[in-house]
Amino acid sequence: MRTLKLTIAYDGAAYVGWQRQSKGSSIQGCLEAALAEIEGEAVAVVGAGRTDAGVHALAQVASLQLRHEIVPDALVRAVNAKLSPDIRVVAAEVGPDLFHARFDATVKTYRYRLLHGAVSSPFDRRYGWHVGEPLDAERMADAGRVLVGEHDFAAFQATGSSTRSTVRTLFDLAVSRVPRDPWSVDGGPGASPTIIEVRGSGFLRHMVRIIVGTLVEVGRGRRDHVAVEHALRSRDRSLAGQTAPPHGLFLMRVDY
């Protein structure tokens, strides 16, 4: 058996998420079905991040084992030929025998797109959260710094989660405005998207989206960095902000 490492990009809008489920089409399920056709037997695919329904990835990483010899570049072509255009294997390489995409990951980077302007664009509806009015990015960045470091993020995980430990480490959180979105239908200067990028060792369920929802409230002037710090220390989900919708979130990079 050979262990392979795949880098995968996907538009998650039409899928129930990364993880295989009994109902609905998943990214993992589609990859396993394509690989099973090529290998002639079931293939288990492990992803670095179990992205939710509607979340996208530019560089998800997966590990798997194949019995038959196949050149990595040929595997990329063969798998892509069997996948929907929503999912693309970008690269494949032979990995160490014990490589595990999820447990060996040291840093994951996510990016969230916040869209502005008086009118939402029909072309951006699956790839960003249209929040309307421009946000105060400086206030958001200031509040975001409260979350950097090792903390108990219980207040920033989905209600009902059964994770054994809610302690996680954020290495960095950045808030920035980027040049005007070319897909915007609003020609005003306020149409420039706001980007929130977070880097961490790992994330709780919905953690990034709750952080985004909380920072949006900061950007609107409805709370400040003191309120964010209070929510963090409280471990109380009700004191953090709303969960941002999934379609603005992208898994950008996984480091090992």
Spatial separation of the C-alpha atoms in residues 6 and 47, rounded to whole Å: 9
Q: Which of 67, 94, 121 is the last residue of a domain?
A: 94
- Give the per-residue pLDDT at 178: 86
Selecting among 52, 124, 142, 152, the annotated active-site residue is 52
Same domain, yes or no, for 76 and 132? no
Asked if residue 76 is part of any domain, the answer here is yes
Is 52 among the residues known to form the active site?
Answer: yes
Q: What is the pTM of this model?
A: 0.94
| Judgement on whether residues 46 and 119 belong to the same structural domain of the protein | no
Q: Which domain holds residue 195?
A: 107-255
pLDDT, mean of each 10-residue run, the chain (256 residues): 97 97 96 97 97 98 95 98 98 96 98 91 90 94 98 96 94 92 66 94 98 98 97 98 98 98
Instruction: Give, in order, the Cα–Cα distances in Å from 3 to each of 33, 58, 100, 234.
Output: 18, 22, 9, 43
CATH number of domain containing 71 = 3.30.70.580
Please, what sign has the CA dihedral across residues 155, 137, 173, 61? Answer: positive
Chain CA centroid to CA 194, Å:
16
Detail the DSSP E strand segments found in 95-148.
Answer: 107-116, 129-132
CATH code: domain of residue 239: 3.30.70.660
Q: How many CB atoms lie within 10 A of CB 166?
A: 16
Number of structural domains found in the chain: 2
